[in-house]
Chains A and B, each alone.
Chain A
Amino acid sequence: MSLRGKAAIVGAWEHPTRFAPNRTMFQIMAESARGALADAGLTIKDVDGLCTTGVGMGWMGLLGFSDYLNLTPSYVDSTAIGGSSFVAHTAHAAAAIAAGLCNTVLIVYGSTAASQRFAIGTGGVAGGGEPCDQYELPFGPTTVGSYAMIAQRHMHDYGTTPEQLAEVAVVARQHAALNPEAKYREPITVADVLASRVVSSPLHLLDCCMISDGGGAVIVTSAERALDLKRPPVYLLGAGEAVRHAARGVRDFLEVAAAQSGRLAFERAGVSHREIDLAMVYDSFTITVVVTLENLGFCKRGEGGAFVSGGRLRFGGEFPLNTDGGGLSSNHPGMRGMFLLIEASRQLRGEAGARQVRDCRIALVHGTGGNLGTRHSGATLILSNQAG
């Protein structure tokens, strides 16, 4: 059974907050659920499926959130694979709907990482209980450091330059200037990125996403039901998932999860790379975008640095990317996959205002979760405003 065109995102809402010291995580999640349901023209009573990670939500967080909103879902999924989780949830929701397990799924996220001063990238790596941790944590890995080691190897093997990586941050900021809700909107230059302090070589502060508060939600339902609702449906055409890790010590570090998840998503969608009008690619760090684009097949391995250069990614350029400003400039409360879904939905519905991509018909969403240099996940979706 193919999922192509069987389900659609019918509600999408991004919490406008970037700093919320007076809100709780569950409150942000519930407000996001309210926003997405209102956007869809549905009520909380229509929700019979629930996806959320449970991460940072206490012990068995999905149960706690069900309690908070008095939800009684018949389908639940707490897949927690880092920032890509919500992208994976969307595919899982579509599969569950197509299989008849439920009708309307709420996928929801909230975080107060900034107001709680949670050092996501430089607080050391969370965990400690897994076998692999015993051979890593004693040496002082950080999230930034994990991605930095990928950048270092990429530069060594392919001559990728700090200027090429910086271009990704500069473009993100240009896009953020067109997004009234983005946290950082004043222009930056390649020189500004290179002049910012090095957090973990070769990555500078401005190569790294921010830490903000925030949240969001999307509603997924069947393609049939979607036709009766308020908003133009955003159909799921194809999806793929993958994990990559140390591979017993023999990993090829520049082959990342996106290679597998992207291939599966393109195959299942029956769409070619040339048909993608918008790419929403997780930009935890500038290097993440470069390596992900290569692994998704938009350019050859090693050519990512050249691919992101020369204005290709800039608004109005040939390859619209992360039009909301991304985690580098709009918001990043820890797991940004949710906002990739929301911005792709806004663009496919033609609601992106000053940053609207013209004739945006097919969007690719790729979430990366975890740490690229140690263990990470990838989830890819291909979405369209047309069912097939």
Chain B
Amino acid sequence: MAAESKAYTKPLPHLDEENRPWWEALKRHELYLQRCRDCGALRYYPRALCPECLSSRTEWLRARGTGTVYTFTITYQNATPGFRESLPYVLAYVELDEGLKLLTNIIDCAPEQVRIGMPVTVVFDDVTPEVTLAKFRPVP
């Protein structure tokens, strides 16, 4: 297909020593959250220190990958390369079952069907050989 042969033009994350394990897990189609071994606070996005107690003692918690739409917008205008060719699309915060909210896209459904509170499940979108994005789709 023509679309697949085109280069991926949307912004890509910058991988570094702090976030690489998280992105590598996504590449294996596994979604992880971090939890502080000292105070127990969960956090997203991944970072080296707990923002609650500044502890460096961190454990990785495998997320269930399910949650609900917390809020969303159907984007009709965005001049950013890659996105301007994919309008309209749904930008959303999903609240994971574990209680953390993350910014993502709701895919595999008509944008007009998205509702706040809608149950969703993670979709691992391998956008480049190096990068997989955690997007979400409605639970059937």
Interface residues of A (CB under 8 A from B): 119, 122-124, 128-129, 131-132, 134-142, 144-145, 148-150, 152-153, 156, 197-203, 246, 248-251, 253, 373-374
Contact = CB atoms under 8 A, between A and B. Distances in A.
A131 B13 CA distance: 9
Interface residues of B, number: 47
Contacts of B71: 149-150, 152-153, 156, 253, 373
B80 A140 contact: yes
Give the dominant DSSP class at B's interface: loop
15 contacts: A119-B79, A122-B79, A138-B133, A140-B105, A144-B77, A156-B116, A200-B75, A201-B73, A249-B42, A249-B43, A249-B102, A250-B42, A250-B99, A253-B70, A253-B93
Contact of B104 (A123, A139, A153, A246): A139
Nearest to B44: A249
A123 B51 contact: no
A248 B91 contact: no
Interface in B81-134: 82-83, 86, 89, 91-93, 99-105, 116-117, 127, 131, 133
A368 B45 CA distance: 24
Given A152-B73, A201-B73, A249 B101 contact: yes
Contacts of A203: 73
B100 A249 contact: yes
A199 B83 CA distance: 14
A132 B11 CA distance: 13
A148 B73 contact: yes
Contacts of A199: 76-77
B140 to A, nearest CB: 23
A198 B75 CA distance: 9
A201 B99 CA distance: 25
A140 B99 CA distance: 23
Nearest to B77: A122
A154 to B, nearest CB: 9
Interface in B20-41: 33, 41
B64 interface: no
Across the A-B interface, the 4 shortest Cβ-Cβ residue pairs: A249-B100, A124-B80, A134-B13, A148-B73
A213 B116 CA distance: 37
B4 interface: no
Interface in B30-75: 33, 41-45, 47, 51-52, 70-75
B32 to A, nearest CB: 13
A128 B99 contact: no
Contact of A149 (B45, B52, B72, B80): B72
Nearest to A125: B80
Contacts of A156: 71, 116-117
A127 to B, nearest CB: 10
Contact of B11 (A138, A202, A250): A138
B14 interface: yes
B78 to A, nearest CB: 5
B139 interface: no
Contacts of A129: 14
Nearest to A246: B101
